[in-house]
Chains A and B, each alone.
Chain A
C-alpha cells in the first residue's frame, strides 16, 4: 500500500524542478506585476495601495490609446508582411535557385540578420536613414535621384517613420519565416507534386494547389509567433527612434518603459503591462482557435 503511494508521488517529483523554475521566473513576477499595478510606486519609496486608479487612468489616457493604436498597426504589419515575405524567400531558395550550393548560400544570407543584436540593427538602420550622414542619402544622391539639400527624412516625419522603422524588421525577421516555411516544404511528400505533374499540372498550379495549402498551418504558426513578437516589440525600435519623433513610434511597450524608467511611475506602468498581457492572451487564443480550423481544413 505504502509502495503504491510512493509510486503515485514519483511523477510529480519529475515535474517539481520545472514547477519551481516556473514559480520563480513566471508566476511570482506575474503576481508581483499584478500586485504592483494596484499601487502608486516611484521605485524608491514605499508602495501605496490605490485600487483600480492606475487602470482607470490608463483607459482615460489618450497617450495609452495612441500607443495601443500604434501597437496594433505594428502587429498588423508583422502578421501580414513578415511571414508572406518569408514564404517568398523560401520559394526563391527552394524553387527558383536551382544550384544547391547557391541556394544554401542564399539561405544563410537571408537568415543572417536574425543572428544580429536588435539594438545593433536599430542603430545601424538609424545611421542608414540619417539624411545628412546616412548611406541611403549617399546612394540616392550618387544616382541623382534626390536633391542633396532635401534628402528623404524617413525617420523624422510622422507620415513615414513607422513604415521606415518596419523595414529593418522585415529584413531581420523574414529569414525566420523562410526557415520555418522551408522546413515545412521539405516535409511535403514529393509524390504529391509528382502525381500532379503527371496529371499535367504546371509548376505554378503545383505550388498554389498543393504546396501552399499544405504550408498553411506552418504559415499560420509563423504569423502567430510574429504577432506575439510584435506586441512585445521594443529593443530595435527604441534603439532606432526612442519612440519619436514626438511620440509617433511609442508602441505600448515603449510607453511602459518610459512610464517606468523616465517618469518613475512603476505602478501605472505595471497596470499598462497587465492590460497588454491580457490583450496578447486574447489575441493568442483567437489565433489558436483559427489555427485549429486551418489545421482541420488543410491537413
Chain B
C-alpha cells in the first residue's frame, strides 16, 4: 500500500517536472531583454528623482539607487574596491574623486563631451576639479549651493527693533546675540555634530582675505598651519563666536537638520547654513511662518566683501571605467545634463543649477534670498570648493576636531594649530 503511494507520488512529481521543462517553449520568438544600467546617486529631491526615473530608451533601462551623502561615499568606495561598482556613480571632488581618477576607475569622457556638447551645458568653472591631466572624468550635475551667508528672522528683528548690517562683524554678532537671548530666543542656529559646518565656517573666514592660493599653500606645505597668521586669525574668530554664546545651546551635539528645524520653528533668530535649507521647510518656503532675510556670514574686522566664496557643484557624476555600456551611460548622463534636468533640479532646490543657460534665462530665485546684496555678491566671487573637501581627509578631520574644541574653549589657538600641523606634516610625508 505504502509502496503504491510512493510510486504515485513519484509519477506525479515526474509529470510536474516534465511540464515545467516545456513551459519555456513557445512558437513565438523569444524577445531579448534590454540591458539595465545602474546609477548610484545622492538622495535627490522629489522632482529630480521623478525626472531621473522617467528616462525612456528603446535600447536600455535605468535603475536609480539613492543613498545619503555619507552612505554614497562609503558604498562607492567599497563597490569600486570590490569590482562591483555600478555603471554611473557620483563622488565628491577633492581627495576622493582624485583617487578614483588616479586609480583609472572613472571612464574618460572627452569624446562624449565633444559629441554631446557638455562643456556648453554645464558650468565650465567646475570642470577642472573633475579633470586630471587635461582629461575629463566627471560632470558637475548638481545645484550650486552657497555658503558664506547667514539667515535671520526678519519679523522678529523688526518687532524688536534689532538691526544687523549686511556684512556683520564678529563683534556685532556677539552684541546682537546677547540682545536676542535677553528677548528669549536662541541666537544662531548651527548643527556642528558632524563637524563639517564648523569647517565651512573656517572656510568662510579663510576666504574673506584669501582664496585658492592659500588652500594650495597649506596643502603643499609652503604655509605651515602653526606658522600661518591667517589660519590663527580665522580660528580666533571662530573661538570668539563659540565662546561668546553666539550659537544656540547644544550646537555641538545637534546635526544641521535640527539646526534648520530650530530656525524654522522660531527657536533661533538666526541661522548659519547653506542656501539649500530652503527645501527643508515642510510644504515649501512659502509655508515659513515668518519673513526671512539674508546677510553675509560673520566678518573679521575690516572685511566686507570676501576674496572668494565657497560655492560649489562639488559632486562629480562619472562612469565606471569597467562598464559594458559606456555609450548608454553617456546617453543617460546627457539626459541628466539637459535643460529639463536643470528645471527639475530648480523645482526641488530653488537655487542656481549646473546649467549656465538655465541660470541666465529661466532661473527665479526666491525674492527673500535674491534681495540680499551678500547673496548676489557671493555668486560673482572666485569660487573655491567647500572647505571640508579641500584638504586631505585626515587634515580635515584634525581641523574639525580642533575647531569643535575651540568653540567651547577646550583648547587654545596655539595648541590647535600645533595638532593640525602634526597631522598635515604626516600627510605630506
Contacts and interface: CB of A to CB of B under 8 A. Distances in A.
A140 B358 CA distance: 51
Nearest to B185: A149
Query: What class of interface size applies to chain B in its complex with A?
Result: 35 or more
Interface in B259-280: 261-262, 265, 267-268
Which of B78, B102, B258 has the most CB atoms of chain A within a 10 A radius of its CB? B258
B250 A244 contact: no
Contacts of B80: 43-44
B103 A45 contact: yes
Given A42-B99, A45-B102, A133 B258 contact: yes
A42 B81 CA distance: 9
Nearest to A158: B410
Given A44-B100, A244-B195, A153 B394 contact: no
B250 A131 contact: yes
Contacts of B181: 149
Measured as residues with beta carbon below 8 angstroms from the partner, the interface class of chain A is 20 to 34
Contacts of B261: 133
Interface in B80-111: 80-81, 95-96, 99-100, 102-103, 105
Contact of A261 (B77, B192, B194, B249): B77
Interface in B37-68: none
Given A45-B102, A130-B258, A265-B394, A244 B77 contact: no
Interface in A222-249: 241-242, 244-247
A84 interface: no
A150 B102 contact: no
Given A45-B103, A246-B401, A247-B401, A161 B253 contact: yes
Contact of B393 (A132, A151, A156, A262): A262
B127 interface: no
A194 interface: no
A133 B410 CA distance: 25
Interface string B229-260: 00000000000000000001111111000100
Contacts of A150: 249
Given A44-B77, A246-B401, A132 B250 contact: yes
Contacts of A247: 401
B397 A151 contact: no
Interface string A156-184: 11100100000000000000000000000
Interface string B387-410: 000000110010001101100101
Interface in A10-35: none
A265 B392 CA distance: 11
A129 B393 contact: no
A245 B404 contact: yes
B74 interface: yes
B194 A242 contact: yes
Contacts of A242: 193-195
B184 interface: yes
B401 A156 contact: no
Contacts of B393: 262-264
> Looking at A150, A155, A156, A264, which has the most chain B CB atoms within 10 Å of its CB?
A156
Nearest to A148: B184
B253 A126 contact: yes
Interface in B176-214: 181, 184, 186, 192-195
Nearest to B82: A43
Contacts of A241: 193, 253
A263 B252 contact: no
A242 to B, nearest CB: 6
B253 A245 contact: yes
B280 to A, nearest CB: 14
B408 A244 contact: no
B100 A133 contact: no
Contacts of B401: 246-247
Contacts of A126: 253-254
Interface of A: 42-45, 126-127, 129-133, 148-151, 153, 155-158, 161, 241-242, 244-247, 258, 261-265
13 contacts: A42-B99, A43-B81, A45-B103, A131-B248, A131-B249, A133-B262, A244-B195, A246-B401, A246-B402, A246-B404, A261-B77, A263-B397, A264-B96
Given A43-B81, A130-B258, 16 more contacts: A43-B80, A44-B100, A45-B103, A126-B253, A130-B250, A133-B261, A133-B267, A148-B184, A149-B181, A156-B249, A156-B251, A244-B252, A262-B393, A262-B397, A264-B99, A264-B393
Q: 7 shortest A-B CB distances, which residue pairs? A: A131-B250, A155-B253, A245-B252, A156-B252, A246-B404, A156-B253, A131-B249
